[in-house]
Structure 1
């Protein structure tokens, strides 16, 4: 099979011929039709992000394709079924705290590296090997739509945070980072889950206006100033009532101040979910006042990715019509042009923009 190989950080991907993967017990091989390219892939491949990725490896995080072969313990998946390849690899032992790796991207610790070394081939390949439980059934699919279904990889991240927050229908949510790649997806997912109102702060007035155009009056935008007290007051004023929940999806470059500003808008007994990159670039970490947390009974939770059941549940939101994948503009590249795809994703990774490689 053809695959794009990253041999060393700072080098281009090279398209080469590799052996076809063979499934064992608990594994499935998928013919990749389309795979998404993360906007920050160039930062990972250059080594700038210092992700734990054992090289050489085939990158590519999440893919849409058809089942090619299954292991002996698969009882429902069949050859030809359309599936989404969930990139979150979890060890099957140590269930309370499983080791985790993101397929073709990053490992968490030594245990995650062991997973990564076995599942070495991500989505930038004609075929990939995945754990059978990571093959999320999609139902019938037009092959031309496979690239748009890759948006599941973007939507699943905030969906995991909103599940952790136990977002309820009718509640008011504030999305910190609403004008970004993952933050704008959080707006769409929250509304699909029944949020009564989503407060969307940001500096980009064009993107803020576009969120309202797409989703209507349930989105309340706020043009932030950079002053914590002023911005906190503006966010609270934009909400129709108390803010029940805050989710943060800001990247490392944003710093701690805007995260703290957004978090401290939440009501008494409110919930804050942290999924962004504060502190990862070596800058100041997030500091929230102990008295404010204690006296207001605030719940603060970190969340990395999502639970195993999230993929099937998110597909249900799409199939029901509550979540519309046609919001995404998709630009597609052949596998031979994978380096062009990575460069394109870096400059076109805004809200509802999806770069896709079609092996």
Structure 2
């Protein structure tokens, strides 16, 4: 089969013939129809982000596909089924704190690295081997536009954060990093889940205007200045009342002060969920005042990725139309043009820009 291979960090991906995967017990082989290309993929493949990929490796985080082989433990999946392949793979020998790898992308700790040795290759190939529990049936409508539905790989991440924070219908959410690829997805998801109001701070005027135009008065854009007290006051004013929850999705390049400014808008007994990359490139750590946390009974929670059940939830939201994928701007590339796709994704990291590889 044909696949895009990261031979070494800093080199272009090489499209070549490699052996087709075969499924063992507890595994499924899927024909990949569409796989998203993250805006930061170029940073990963260059080595700037220092992800624990071990070349040579077929990268790619999840995708839409059709089942071509099922293992003996699958009781409902059938050959030909249209499916979503979740990249977040969990070890099966620890139900409480399983080791995790992001198939074809990253891993957490020594155990995650061992898991990545087994499930080494990701979605930038004609065929992909996936654990049975990571394969989720899609509605027939997804087969008409698999490239658009491949955006589930992006949307399911902030969905995990909203679930972790227990967002309820009618609440006010502040999305820190709302003008980015993940943050704008969080805005769309929060509204789909019934948020009464979403405060969307950012520096990019065009992106803020896009959010306001797409979602109307339930989204309250705030243009940031970099002055902590002024920005916090502006966000509180935009909320027009208590901020029930803050979801932080700021990128590694953002300063910790930006995360703190947003977090400290939350009300007494409010929740703050941290999912971004602040501090990954060094610099000051996030510092939240102990007295403020304690006296206001604020809950602060970190969340990496999402629970397995989130895949079912995000598919339901998209299938029902509550999460409207039709407004996403989708650009597709064939497998042979994978390096052009990576460059295009890096140049188009804005809200609702989707770069998609179609290996078939």
Identify whether the pair has TM-score above 0.5, normalized to the shorter chain: yes
Shift of 1:141: 3.6
Structure 2 residue aligned with 1:291: 291
Rounded Cα–Cα distance in structure 1 between residues aligned with 2:313 and 2:346: 29
- Equivalent residue runs for 1:97-112 within 5 Å: 97-112=97-112
Structure 2 residue aligned with 1:150: 150
Structure 2 residue aligned with 1:16: 16
Rounded Cα–Cα distance in structure 2 between residues aligned with 1:55 and 1:308: 27
1:199-238 Cα distance to aligned partner (Å, 9 max, x none): 0011111111111111111001111111000000010011
Per the alignment, in what secondary structure is the counterpart of residue 237 of structure 1? Answer: helix
Contact 2:9 2:47 in 1 (8 A): yes
Contact 1:33 1:143 in 2 (8 A): no
Rounded Cα–Cα distance in structure 1 between residues aligned with 2:139 and 2:26: 21
Shift of 1:142: 5.5
Contact 2:248 2:273 in 1 (8 A): yes
2:302 matches 1:302: yes
Rounded Cα–Cα distance in structure 2 between residues aligned with 1:255 and 1:90: 31
Rounded Cα–Cα distance in structure 2 between residues aligned with 1:230 and 1:350: 25
Shift of 1:143: 4.0
1:142 to 1:220, Cα distance in 2 relative to 1, 3 A: closer
2:173 matches 1:173: yes
Contact 1:160 1:305 in 2 (8 A): yes
Structure 1 residue runs of 5 or longer lacking an equivalent are none
Per the alignment, in what secondary structure is the counterpart of residue 300 of structure 2? Answer: strand
2:196 matches 1:196: yes
Contact 1:174 1:247 in 2 (8 A): yes
Shift of 1:331: 0.4
Structure 2 residue runs of 5 or longer lacking an equivalent are none
Per the alignment, in what secondary structure is the counterpart of residue 253 of structure 2? Answer: helix
Paired residues in the alignment total 359
Shift of 1:312: 0.7
- Equivalent residue runs for 1:29-68 within 5 Å: 29-68=29-68
Structure 1 residue aligned with 2:4: 4
Give the alignment's Cα RMSD to 1 decimal: 0.8
Rounded Cα–Cα distance in structure 1 between residues aligned with 2:318 and 2:63: 17
- Equivalent residue runs for 1:237-316 within 5 Å: 237-316=237-316
Contact 1:203 1:223 in 2 (8 A): yes
Structure 1 residue aligned with 2:218: 218
Moved more, 109-118 or 136-145: 136-145
Structure 2 residue aligned with 1:357: 357
Rounded Cα–Cα distance in structure 1 between residues aligned with 2:232 and 2:141: 44
Shift of 1:80: 0.8
1:243-279 Cα distance to aligned partner (Å, 9 max, x none): 0000000001011011000000000000000000111
TM-score (ref. length: structure 2): 0.98
Rounded Cα–Cα distance in structure 2 between residues aligned with 1:145 and 1:160: 24
Per the alignment, in what secondary structure is the counterpart of residue 16 of structure 2? Answer: strand
Shift of 1:320: 1.3
Rounded Cα–Cα distance in structure 2 between residues aligned with 1:319 and 1:45: 33
Rounded Cα–Cα distance in structure 2 between residues aligned with 1:142 and 1:102: 23
Contact 2:173 2:244 in 1 (8 A): yes
Structure 2 residue aligned with 1:82: 82
